Structure 1
Amino acid sequence: MKNKLICMASATSLLLGVSCKNEPKSEPVQTTHQEIAATYQGKPITKAFDAKIDSLIAAMTIEEKTGMLHGSTMFATAAVERLGIPELTMADGPLGVREEISKDSWAPAGWDNDFATYYPAGGGVAATWNTELSYVFGNSVGEEAIARDKDVLLSPAINIIRTPLGGRTYEYFTEDPFLNKKMTVPFIVGLQENDVAACVKHFAANNQETNRDFVDVQIDERTLREIYLPAFKAAVQEAHAYSFMGAYNKFRGEYLCANSYMLEDVLRKEWGFEGIVISDWAAVHGTKEYLENGTDIEMGTPKPFNEYYFADALIEAVKSGSVSETELNKHVKRILRTMYTLKSIDDKGRAKGSINTEAHFKDAYAIASESVILLKNDKNMLPLQTEGLKSIAVIGNNATKTNALGGFGAGVKTKREVTPLQGLKNRLPENITINYAEGYLERYSKNENDQKQAVTLKGPVTVDELDPKVLEDALTAAKNSDVAIIFAGSNRDYETEASDRRNLDLPFGQEELIKKVQEVNPNTIVVMIAGAPFDLRQVDAQSATLVWSWFNGSEGGNALADVLLGNVNPSGKLPWTMPKQLEDSPAHATNSFPGDKTVSYDEGILVGYRWFDTKNVAPLYPFGFGLSYTTFEISDVTTNAKTYQENDVINVQATVKNTGTAAGKEVVQVYVSKPDSKVERAAKELKAFAKIDVAAGQQNTVTLQIPVKELAFYNVDTKSWEVEKGTYTIKVGNSSRHITGEYTISIN
């Protein structure tokens, strides 16, 4: 699919009715909702081999069956060689396929052929607001996973961003459930087209690293259904994901890997999930209740593999009659069905894949180049004009910092990671001198969390004083250069799994560095490289130009340089809200993060921009925000009718005009409000979006489709989704705070 685009609009935009670049104004492409949904429709688990599977199970011993239900190495279950059943092999994958790990420890296996492409992190992917690129990511990393003979890739990570402090915010997509599901589905479909199972994680309500191993999450049912579950549901019913990962935490008093409500009632019975549930590593704490309540495979951290709860303890439970062999067979059958679906048993026609290729580096570049966000450009310093430019000061540790590896958790062993400094060297004319200075030192205090593996908010602790000599070198470089570019922000040692951040402060004394550099060179561009929000009030106030980039993959430096130089017009949009201060964010405004043994989501449905817009709290930069080197006008908002029934589809039409001098991509965002609702509602909710390419001076018509059922709320009394009758307001703009057109409709 990724090679089938023949015009400059994305495939997603075409489906939503966007005309191509060379058509100044044409009739919108009318596409049904069913056709849009079918674009990324996954293939379900096959049952064609059930007779064969039943005969295999009948021939297996209890020991062989249980061997398939737990890790026999760090990332594989046991094979049954005498029956031709191979291992079920797995690999971490949020940034690309992880290097090979030793069979019985976390140490690298030391292979020389396990290099892989480093892809942009989830935040960067979501910042593209381009579902086609999410498909490209999934398909590309799927080709790499199957080339490494992996059956399951432990990805995507789709938990909602509840707090800006989250240690894994960089890895997740967004704070918004609609954007979340629209990015999730194509990734899974693209991945599974390569005969590799997506393992969708972490199911569910796993929204903090602090006390993640035991914290008991309390969420009311409506909030659970409307905010935290939509992407998981879409992963099942639209993408047909083949596996889910059970989370560490508790939910309403029960560990999620033993939570019958979530795993059995919701996931399997209500949504129809037919794949396998794999535990997060060491998230199983018992045998009978975990197996019977829905976990199929127990994975874990180093200890003798026979001591796993689904190993010797399960064998004993079956032999004693505590667990029936019928129950055991049920889980084995699920695993074998998945393996036959992946063609890992009968591998005729199984995908072959490729890894670490130029084609995949191009995929990583495509994502990165659309993820960069222009936050501020008051003096039009960007794009950088190289004519007459003699020297550039490149300042900041992040100009040379690599992020494929780092922190606690999965990274990628890659042969290529282009840093921002290298990207500029690759793209700038040779006659321009680059004066590099480190600017600040990445330093951490010596304490119990020195290894950056803390499980609470108490690590890592940074040293925030600037080194005088390093600062002097930076100021000298800035004084002696025509333009200064500061690469600041974070890295994957500071933002890391197993630890939430202490606060939103920029680490390592960067605020002071930025201020001092700007004092000696007013022609200073600030580029933030990070995966999560920071308190940028001071930086924003004193900076004319501010750019946001991400942990952006093997080609991240080249993509960023191309944006700074104008070879690529920035089109990224924030996938979360940038608050002015931590206390403005809902989980912190309600003092309901991080909890202790229990955390209550007191903000309810008002997560992210829903809180800011409903409570009239001004963000520093709103959800969906991002500038361009050109300007756009969105106007003439209409719908195809004034009144709709519950089974109808609303066609929202708008005109997008490029009023500037450069071609560019704009994201048209459609939000819906329900005045006078009988239940609490957010001021607005994202219900459709499309990214379109418009030539300078031209205009396109875009049609976005919203099934009326998307407007439903979850009725806790009837335990069903209800479309409330009455008046709704359609709001169209290019961020949650910049609405340029409204239209009123009625639902009868």
Structure 2
Amino acid sequence: MKYIISCSVALLLLSNVSAQTKKEAAINAKISSIIKKMTLEEKIEMLHGNALFSSAGVKRLGIPELTCDDGPLGVREEIKRFDWNSANWTTDSATFLPNGSAIAATWNPAMANKYGVVLGEEANARKKIIMLAPAFNICRMPLCGRTYEYYSEDPFLNSQLAIQSVRGIQSQHVAACIKHFAANNQEVNRGEVNAIIDERALREIYLPAFKAGVQQGNAYTVMSAYNKLNGYWCSENDFLLNKVLKKEWGFKGIVISDWGGTHHTVAAANSGLDLEMGSSGPYDQWYFAKPLLAAVKAGEVSVKTIDDKVSRILWLMYHTSMSANHPKGSIATPVHSKAVYDIASESIVLLKNDAHLLPLKTSNIKSIAVIGDNATRTFALGGYGAGVKAKYEITALAGIKSRFGKTAEIKFAQGYKANYSASKTDAQNAGSDQPDQTLINEAVALAKTTDVAILCIGSNREYESEGHDRKNLSLPFGEQALVNAVSAANPNTIIVIMAGAPYDLNEIKKSNHTIVWSWFNGSEAGNALADVLKGVVNPSGRLPFTFPVSLKDSPASALNTYPGNNMTADYKEGILVGYRWYDTKNINPLYCFGYGLSYTNFTYTDLATNKKSYKPGDKIVVSVKIKNTGRTAGKETVQLYISKVNSSVLRPEKELKAFKKIMITPTEKSLVSMNISISDLAYFDDKLSKWVVEPGEYKVMAASSSKDIRQVTSFRISK
């Protein structure tokens, strides 16, 4: 019987593969037929923008324009065709999705998929073919202005999230555009800086999520980064675009330049760029417009190269706008709101709960002071880069009122002024880091009269913004003075930090007993936060990057490679990025990678591998038993780290190789099983230009965070 079932499944799989092969063959035949009918001029027209977010089709052949849109936080409001001003539509309100580091903090690929499906459905409702998302450059430097937009410091976590967000978007026949390829790890001098990275670090740290997004997610588009990589602009980097992306990884889609990120005609065309995009005309003067036509006629770029680019664009269209059974899409629906709530509530990280003040017991609380500009601030818009005209956004104050307002009196005090603008100069923003004593006095007076004070501080979309990096890790707007004063006035003070990147929390960690980390968490942010505070949701978020004690502890600062000298940033830390650096160098962080508390406790026992010795090509099956020893149901993220014992080459102290998030009820014990391929334990030998699995002893560690190792066992790999 089992044999019959297995045969049936195999036949079904073969049938599906065969049908897909036939479908692709039919598409390729159509593409070849269309290209034969096109003039060279028509082909060139398809390879550059004809407006801010579109490139030309060929009307006489039934090829529509190729339209795209920002971005990672949701489908942005409609802007005018030729400039960045609003088109003043009344029907373009959309769902505001949690930011990238919030999605990463869920440590749950299913949430990344949920995010992608919402983005794809809303893109269809707005007739957008390409969504310029997800963005998942490695968080190398905590000051980077786009850390909030990216995922994490770890290539494996990035990869698992990238695969699912791409699949989610493209399940709706909308193209995901994975970005920024590659090594766009700082905003300072991003348009000029030359990132010098050895091939091992590139292969092990900066490229894996892109590879996964292409090969496992089947991403239809890739955006080249602004910066140079090892001496060549990313938009004309033959190693990146031709050798690695298209030849090694088998990428079938198109490479799009970042806006204004193209620098030459011939070099870009021959090195793998397919579509030039930018922010202003005249469009017929762009590198891939009249100059490209001239280069083809002069024999500097072949017609075959042009045909390949056009073929890729048409392939993309036949899988999106010209696909059969194309979904109509939907926008700002209750289902989308529920998805945002689910992501947001799983992303919130409980950093400290020493006094067990959380979850708040409503029967004991009759008055709550909600303090801080972030309690009433919205985060869908602000700064440079993509925002969303949100249909609605629940603030922290609104969420707290909806969850606690029936049983407690809730009052608000602003506490500080967030008077910083991304569009202003440093001189114009001078003084924005100073506390406002009048507002502090008002907050203190209020806090003294209530049972609990919830202090909402952190950052905002102006302070963390594309186009600039922060100067330091300090909390902005004089917030520390507010924290100190309110905490002294009310011992039951809960610190809630809303931000997308690490900050200096040394004093807060030392002096405050209850700390919650939220994010720029989308349309349902306030409801999700309030439900965590109330205990309706048991927090399960885990930090996707390391919080250093001091900026000088982070590798780029310690080695003085940021922001670089003479427009060159030498990534001297190599593979030791994030927790790999801190663990290997024995530097204690403020909060480690993967850290997060719960309202319950979990124990780990019986860690085991299915064998004690493996050969190359094998899979390791790792199992561990997790028990919820508390009184509350909760989700635990089980993290598996691998360490090579007595490695012959430099290896990190440990590396994340698997993780799984599971819900466990009180007193329940769950057997968690995860697979790790032996090939995933390889290092890249840049002298031999190949991946090498070193034989010998390895340790596998089951952990609740990168520093909280619960169980250890070992295995061997034979030659």
TM category (shorter chain) comes to over 0.9
For the residue of structure 1 that corresponds to 2:586, the secondary structure is coil
- Residue 181 of structure 1 aligns with which residue? 159
- Residue 264 of structure 2 aligns with which residue? 286
Question: Closer, same or farther in 2 for the Cα pair 1:461/1:732, shift >3 Å?
Answer: farther
* Aligned residue runs from structure 1 range 576-615, under 5 A: 576-596=545-565, 597-615=567-585
Does structure 2 retain, via aligned residues, the 8 Å contact 1:159–1:206?
yes
- Residue 629 of structure 1 aligns with which residue? 599
- Which of 433, 442, 451 is the matching residue for 2:418? 442
TM-score where L is the length of structure 1: 0.92
Question: Closer, same or farther in 2 for the Cα pair 1:141/1:157, shift >3 Å?
Answer: same
- The answer on 1:566 being equivalent to 2:535 is yes
Does structure 2 retain, via aligned residues, the 8 Å contact 1:46–1:337?
no
Question: Closer, same or farther in 2 for the Cα pair 1:106/1:508, shift >3 Å?
Answer: same
- CA-CA distance at 1:347 after TM superposition: 4.5
- Residue 468 of structure 1 aligns with which residue? 437
- Residue 690 of structure 1 aligns with which residue? 660
- Residue 24 of structure 1 aligns with which residue? none
Does structure 1 retain, via aligned residues, the 8 Å contact 2:94–2:331?
yes
Aligned mates of 2:370, 2:422 — CA distance in 1: 31
* Aligned residue runs from structure 1 range 339-488, under 5 A: 339-342=317-320, 346-444=322-420, 452-453=421-422, 461=430, 463-488=432-457
- Residue 93 of structure 2 aligns with which residue? 115
Letter in structure 1 aligned against 2:563: P
Letter in structure 2 aligned against 1:550: W
- The answer on 1:741 being equivalent to 2:717 is no
- CA-CA distance at 1:461 after TM superposition: 5.0
Letter in structure 1 aligned against 2:503: F
For the residue of structure 1 that corresponds to 2:26, the secondary structure is coil
- The answer on 1:170 being equivalent to 2:148 is yes
- Residue 59 of structure 2 aligns with which residue? 81
Aligned mates of 1:206, 1:346 — CA distance in 2: 32
* Aligned residue runs from structure 1 range 291-370, under 5 A: 291-342=269-320, 346-370=322-346
TM-score where L is the length of structure 2: 0.95
- Residue 28 of structure 1 aligns with which residue? none
- CA-CA distance at 1:46 after TM superposition: 3.6
- Which of 228, 236, 241 is the matching residue for 1:258? 236
- Which of 498, 515, 536 is the matching residue for 2:505? 536
Aligned mates of 2:669, 2:624 — CA distance in 1: 10
Does structure 1 retain, via aligned residues, the 8 Å contact 2:235–2:262?
yes
Aligned mates of 1:168, 1:540 — CA distance in 2: 25
Aligned mates of 2:694, 2:101 — CA distance in 1: 33
For the residue of structure 2 that corresponds to 1:330, the secondary structure is helix
Aligned mates of 1:47, 1:413 — CA distance in 2: 41
Letter in structure 1 aligned against 2:700: I
Aligned mates of 1:155, 1:383 — CA distance in 2: 35
Deviates more, 1:57-66 or 1:356-365: 57-66
- Residue 504 of structure 1 aligns with which residue? 473
- Residue 545 of structure 1 aligns with which residue? 514
Aligned mates of 2:138, 2:430 — CA distance in 1: 26
- Which of 610, 613, 619 is the matching residue for 1:649? 619
- Residue 268 of structure 1 aligns with which residue? 246
User: Cα RMSD between the aligned structures?
Assistant: 1.8
Question: Closer, same or farther in 2 for the Cα pair 1:45/1:105, shift >3 Å?
Answer: farther
For the residue of structure 2 that corresponds to 1:226, the secondary structure is helix
- CA-CA distance at 1:111 after TM superposition: 1.2
CA deviation digits over 1:317-361, x for unaligned, max 9? 22333323222222111111111122xx64531121111111001
Aligned mates of 1:459, 1:606 — CA distance in 2: 37
- The answer on 1:716 being equivalent to 2:692 is no
Aligned mates of 1:732, 1:388 — CA distance in 2: 39
Question: Closer, same or farther in 2 for the Cα pair 1:584/1:688, shift >3 Å?
Answer: same
- Which of 539, 552, 556 is the matching residue for 2:525? 556
Question: Closer, same or farther in 2 for the Cα pair 1:45/1:670, shift >3 Å?
Answer: farther
Aligned mates of 1:161, 1:233 — CA distance in 2: 17
Aligned mates of 1:746, 1:457 — CA distance in 2: 56
Aligned mates of 2:700, 2:635 — CA distance in 1: 22
* Aligned residue runs from structure 1 range 131-210, under 5 A: 131-210=109-188
Deviates more, 1:476-485 or 1:44-53: 44-53
Question: Closer, same or farther in 2 for the Cα pair 1:460/1:89, shift >3 Å?
Answer: farther
CA deviation digits over 1:124-169, x for unaligned, max 9? 0010001111111111111111111111000010100001101000
Aligned mates of 1:483, 1:44 — CA distance in 2: 65
For the residue of structure 2 that corresponds to 1:200, the secondary structure is strand
- Residue 639 of structure 1 aligns with which residue? 609
Question: Closer, same or farther in 2 for the Cα pair 1:659/1:517, shift >3 Å?
Answer: same
Q: Percent identity?
A: 52
Q: Which runs of 5+ in 2 are unaligned?
A: 1-12
Letter in structure 2 aligned against 1:651: V
Does structure 1 retain, via aligned residues, the 8 Å contact 2:224–2:235?
yes
Aligned mates of 2:23, 2:490 — CA distance in 1: 60
Letter in structure 1 aligned against 2:507: Q
Aligned mates of 1:351, 1:441 — CA distance in 2: 45
Does structure 2 retain, via aligned residues, the 8 Å contact 1:459–1:501?
no
Question: Closer, same or farther in 2 for the Cα pair 1:673/1:498, shift >3 Å?
Answer: same
- Residue 10 of structure 2 aligns with which residue? none
Letter in structure 2 aligned against 1:544: H
Does structure 2 retain, via aligned residues, the 8 Å contact 1:454–1:499?
no
CA deviation digits over 1:485-530, x for unaligned, max 9? 1001001110000101000000100001000011111110001000
Question: Closer, same or farther in 2 for the Cα pair 1:607/1:455, shift >3 Å?
Answer: farther
Aligned mates of 2:275, 2:637 — CA distance in 1: 41
For the residue of structure 2 that corresponds to 1:352, the secondary structure is coil
CA deviation digits over 1:589-645, x for unaligned, max 9? 111111031000111111000111111101111100000001111121111110011
For the residue of structure 1 that corresponds to 2:363, the secondary structure is coil
- CA-CA distance at 1:114 after TM superposition: 1.1
- The answer on 1:727 being equivalent to 2:697 is yes
Alignment length (residue pairs): 700
CA deviation digits over 1:690-721, x for unaligned, max 9? 00011011111101111111110001122111
- Residue 7 of structure 2 aligns with which residue? none
* Aligned residue runs from structure 1 range 659-678, under 5 A: 659-678=629-648
For the residue of structure 1 that corresponds to 2:304, the secondary structure is helix
Does structure 2 retain, via aligned residues, the 8 Å contact 1:457–1:499?
no
Aligned mates of 2:115, 2:427 — CA distance in 1: 34
Does structure 1 retain, via aligned residues, the 8 Å contact 2:175–2:219?
yes
Letter in structure 2 aligned against 1:218: I
- Residue 520 of structure 1 aligns with which residue? 489
Aligned mates of 1:44, 1:623 — CA distance in 2: 46
Aligned mates of 2:334, 2:654 — CA distance in 1: 42
Does structure 1 retain, via aligned residues, the 8 Å contact 2:317–2:323?
no
Aligned mates of 1:62, 1:139 — CA distance in 2: 37
Does structure 2 retain, via aligned residues, the 8 Å contact 1:579–1:619?
yes
CA deviation digits over 1:353-410, x for unaligned, max 9? 1111110010000000000000000000000111031110100000011110001000
- The answer on 1:90 being equivalent to 2:60 is no
CA deviation digits over 1:18-59, x for unaligned, max 9? xxxxxxxxxxxxxxxxx9xx9xxx999944222222222222
Letter in structure 2 aligned against 1:306: D
Does structure 2 retain, via aligned residues, the 8 Å contact 1:70–1:311?
yes
Letter in structure 2 aligned against 1:399: A
Q: Which runs of 5+ in 1 are unaligned?
A: 1-34, 445-451
For the residue of structure 2 that corresponds to 1:48, the secondary structure is helix
Question: Closer, same or farther in 2 for the Cα pair 1:460/1:351, shift >3 Å?
Answer: farther
Question: Closer, same or farther in 2 for the Cα pair 1:740/1:459, shift >3 Å?
Answer: farther
- Which of 538, 544, 561 is the matching residue for 1:575? 544
